[in-house]
Structure 1
Amino acid sequence: MQWQAIVDFDGTISLDDTTDRILERFAAPGWETIEAEWVAGRIGSRECMERQIALLRVSPDILDTFVDSFEIDWGFAFLVRVCQRHAVPVTVVSDGLDRTIHSVLRRTGLAGLPVIANHLESAGGDRWRLTSPHASRDGSCVSGTCKCNVAQGLGRPATILVGDGRSDFCLAERADLVFAKKGLIAHCRATGIEHHPFAQLADAARLLDEMLTGTMPAIASHHLKDMIDG
C-alpha cells in the first residue's frame, strides 16, 4: 500500500501553538478580538490570521530570535525515521506560518522535509502580511491551508494523518489512518471517526511502526477498505 503521512505542526510537532505565542508577544491590541470571532465561527481561520498578522509589530531578526525559543516534541524525529524506513513520504501541513515551521525544522535537523502552510512575508520594517497559497480555490474551505486538497494533491492513495486540532477535522474524516491528540481526539470521538490517541509523537511512531510491519493491523477507513477489497 502506498501511504503518505501528513503531520500537523502547531501543537503536534511544536509543544505550543507557535502563532498564538507570536501574537501574544508582538501583535498590537485587537488580535484577541479577532481570535474570538474565529472561535465563535463568525470567520474562517484564513481571514482570522490575515487580520491578526497585519497587527504584528516586530522586525524579522527579533521575530526569528523569538522563534528559536520554541520547543518541539522530539518524538517527531523518530516518527520521520519510521516513515522513511517504510518508504512513507512525510509532509508537514499546517494552517500556521511557513517561516516559523522552516526555522524550527532547520534547528532540529529536519529542514529537508516538505512544508505546506500559510506564507508569512515581511512588508518592510516591523510590518508583515500573510498569503495562503494552499487555500481552497472554490471557497469550500475557510482555512488558510486546506488539508484535504493537499492530501489529494500529494497523489498517494492512502493517507496517515497526525494532528491535534480544528485544522485537522476535515481531513480526519477522509484519512485512512488517524493519530490524534488534544482537540482532535474529542472531535473523533464525537463524530465516530476511528483513531489512535497519543500524547507524545514517539508513542504514535512506535504504533505506526507496528502497523506498517504487520505486527498490528491498521484501522482502515471505508474508502481504503473498498480499495483493498475491490
Structure 2
Amino acid sequence: MTMLWQALIDFDGTISCRDTTDAILQRFAEPGWEEIEAQWEAGAIGSRECMERQVALLRVSPDVLDTFTASLEIDWGFSAFVRLCQRHGVPVTVVSDGLDRTIHTLLGRAGLGHLPVVANHLEPIGGDRWRMTSPHAAPGGACGSGTCKCRIASGLSRPLTLLVGDGRSDFCLAGEADLVFAKKSLIAHCREATIPHHPFADFAQAVSLLESVLAGAALPAESLTLKDKIDG
C-alpha cells in the first residue's frame, strides 16, 4: 500500500519556519516590493508576475544572499518526516512557488540536499541583479502561479498524493490530493471549500499523522459540510 503514495511538500512556511522569499525581499529589495505584494494579495496579479517583479528589485551579490539564506530556520522535524517516508518507500518531492536557490541552500544545510526540488528558478544576471524564471508554470498561463502544483502532481508516477502545505499556492492541489496535511491559511481554505484535511502545527505532528496512515489506521479528517457552516 505504501508504494502507492507520493508526498509533495510545500517549502515556505511549511518546511521553513517563515517565508524565506519575504525575508530576502525585506532585507535586500529596493522600495516598491510591498506595493507589488499588495497587488497580489488583492488578486490583481498572479504570484508569478508578483515574484518576477519583486526579484527584479533585489540588490544583493550571490555570496551575500547565500550567507543570509543559510541563517534562516527550517522545521527540524522535517528530517524525521523524510526518514519515515524513506523507510516506507514513499518518495518526497519539495514543490514550491518560491525560489530554488533558497530551497537548495537550506535543504543542503539540513543534510537533505538529495531531495528533488520543483520551484521557480532564481538566476544571477551580473553584479547584484537577479531575475526569476518559472520552468514549471502551467502552459499558456492557465495558472497564475510560477509553479503549478496540480500539474507537477499529475506528472509523477504514484497514484496517491499526500500534500503537506500551508498557503495559497497549495489551494488548487488540496482539492485534488488524496490526503492533505494542512497548516495556517490552508486550514481555513480547506474548511471553506469542505476539503477533508488533517491540521498540523509542525512536522513532529505530521510524523505522527503519517505513521498512522502508513499503519493503515483511519484518521478522522476535519472538514466542514454545508450543514455545519449553516448550523455554525
- What is aligned with 2:192? 190
| Match among 157, 160, 163 for residue 159 of structure 2 | 157
- Consecutive unaligned residues of structure 2, counting only runs of 5 or more, are 222-232
Q: Percent identity?
A: 71
Secondary structure in 2 aligned to 1:138? Answer: helix
Query: Any conservation in 2 of the 1:177–1:218 contact (CA below 8 Å)?
Result: no
- What is aligned with 1:142? 144
* CA shift for structure 1 position 118: 0.2
- What is aligned with 2:208? 206
- After superposition, give the CA deviation of every residue in 1:60-119 in whole Å (9 maximum; x if it has no partner): 010001001110101101110111111110000000000000000110000000000000
- What is aligned with 1:223? none
Query: Any conservation in 2 of the 1:134–1:145 contact (CA below 8 Å)?
Result: yes
Secondary structure in 2 aligned to 1:119? Answer: strand
- What is aligned with 1:225? none
Which AA in structure 2 matches 1:152? S
User: Is 2:186 the partner of 1:179?
Assistant: no
Which is worse superposed, 204-213 or 178-187? Answer: 204-213
* CA shift for structure 1 position 219: 6.9
User: Is 2:218 the partner of 1:217?
Assistant: yes
Which AA in structure 1 matches 2:186? L
What's the TM-score, normalizing by structure 1? 0.93
- What is aligned with 1:22? 24
* CA shift for structure 1 position 218: 5.0
User: Is 2:118 the partner of 1:116?
Assistant: yes
Which AA in structure 1 matches 2:159? P
* CA shift for structure 1 position 138: 2.8
Q: 1:43-192 to 2 correspondence within 5 Å?
A: 43-192=45-194
- Consecutive unaligned residues of structure 1, counting only runs of 5 or more, are 221-230
Which AA in structure 2 matches 1:22? I
State the superposition RMSD in angstroms: 1.0
* CA shift for structure 1 position 151: 0.3
Distance in 2 between residues matched to 1:123 and 1:55, nearest whole Å: 13
User: Is 2:6 the partner of 1:4?
Assistant: yes
Q: Following superposition, which runs of at least 4 residues in structure 1 exceed 2 angstroms of deviation?
A: none
Which is worse superposed, 171-180 or 77-86? Answer: 77-86
Query: Any conservation in 2 of the 1:176–1:219 contact (CA below 8 Å)?
Result: no
